[in-house]
Amino acid sequence: MPYPSHLTMREARAQYFEDNDFGDDGGYGSPWVDFKIGPVPFPFPNTPMRVKAVRYHDLHHVLTGYATDFAGEMEISAWEVGAGCGRFPVAWQLNLSGMFGGLFSVPRRSFRAFVRGRRSRSLYGRDLERLLDMTVADAQQELSVPDGATRASVVDVGVYLLALTAGAIVGTVTLVLGLVTLPLAYLFLVRKWMRARREAPGAAT
């Protein structure tokens, strides 16, 4: 469910970070993103372009109520593709890939989220500070997000199939690039684990 309507978006985002253990800054300052498919981690670089996009992506989670687990990320990906990602290439890349993944993991939920997104407007490219000062209710009104599922039209189905085709291409390229960078990602995780052990209370010096 979306966050309480009386909160400012800044307050709701802080609560969202706390609810999901993202840290005070939402993980924006981390060099890598720890993404998991089931129990298997697939870290990828947290580039400046990705951080710029995820600042809006997180607000979409707050306003739509989609969770941050694997299924929820597939849903929000489909919603953002439906609503549009503006001039944010990395958002298109990640969301098209995620929506294609949703076809195999949560197909019905993913399609419903896509159709819901088609009836909405995304926040991408809007003044972020102004959005954070708005209440949740005002931001939801700005997005025109439907409260529940909406009936799909023939046009929705056609656009969905085109987006899935694009998602298959983009997702395949993303997977290949991810496999290339995977050894570096796991090296980073090992170093992070070792540093955490050294800094843990009672660790040997």
Residue 73, pLDDT score? 95
Domains identified in the chain, total number = 1
**Residues of the domain holding 128:** 9-199
Q: Is residue 76 part of a domain?
A: yes
161 φ, ψ (degrees, to nearest 5): -65, -40
Using alpha carbons, select from 43, 126, 124 the residue that is nearest to residue 89: 124
Question: Most confidently modeled of 26-40, 41-55, 61-75?
Answer: 61-75
Q: Is residue 4 part of a domain?
A: no
Look-up: residue for tokens 């040997």?
204
Percent of the chain with pLDDT over 70: 84
Average pLDDT over residues 2-20: 94
Q: Is residue 161 part of a domain?
A: yes
Mean pLDDT value across the chain = 88
Q: Decide the pairing of beta strands 32-33 and 40-41.
A: unpaired
Q: Is residue 109 part of a domain?
A: yes
> For residue 200, is pLDDT > 80?
no
pLDDT per position as a tens digit, 127-178 = 999 999 999 999 999 888 877 668 899 999 999 999 999 999 998 988 777 6
Q: Decide the pairing of beta strands 36-37 and 40-41.
A: antiparallel
Q: Is residue 181 part of a domain?
A: yes
Element (H, E) at 141: helix 136-143
pLDDT per position as a tens digit, 172-190 = 988 777 677 667 666 766 6
